Amino acid sequence: MSTMALDHRGFSALARPRVWLRGTVVLMASSTQSVELVELMARIRGGDQQAFASLYDATSRNVFGIVLRVLRDRAQSEEVTQEVYLEAWRSAQRFDVRLGSPTAWLNTIAHRKAVDRVRSSERSTQREQRHFRAESVLTPDDPSELAAIQDDGRRVRAALRRLPAAQRAALELAYYGGRTQAEVAAALEIPLGTVKTRMRDAMKRLRKQLGDSS
Which positions from 86 through 115 interact with other proteins, judged by CB under 8 A?
86-87, 89-101, 103-112, 115
Which CB sits closer to other proteins, 60 or 130?
60
List of residues 6+ apart from 27 with CB closer than 8 A = 100, 101, 104
Asked if residue 162 binds other proteins (CB under 8 A), the reply is no
Least distance between other proteins and beta carbon 131 (Å): 19
Enumerate residues 136-155 that contact other proteins by CB under 8 A: 137, 148-149, 151-153, 155
Q: Decide: 115 and 177 in contact? Cβ < 8 Å.
A: no
Enumerate residues 117-136 that contact other proteins by CB under 8 A: none
Q: Binding marks (x or -) toward other proteins, 62..91, rule CB under 8 A?
A: xxxxx-xx-------xx--xx--xxx-xxx
CB atoms within 10 A of CB 71: 22
Side chain identity at residue 191, one-letter code: P
Least distance between other proteins and beta carbon 129 (Å): 19
As a whole number of angstroms, the distance between CA 24 and CA 26 comes to 7
Q: Decide: 81 and 110 in contact? Cβ < 8 Å.
A: yes
With contacts defined by CB under 8 A, how many residues of the chain interact with other proteins?
109
Which CB sits closer to other proteins, 96 or 189?
96
Q: Decide: 141 and 195 in contact? Cβ < 8 Å.
A: no
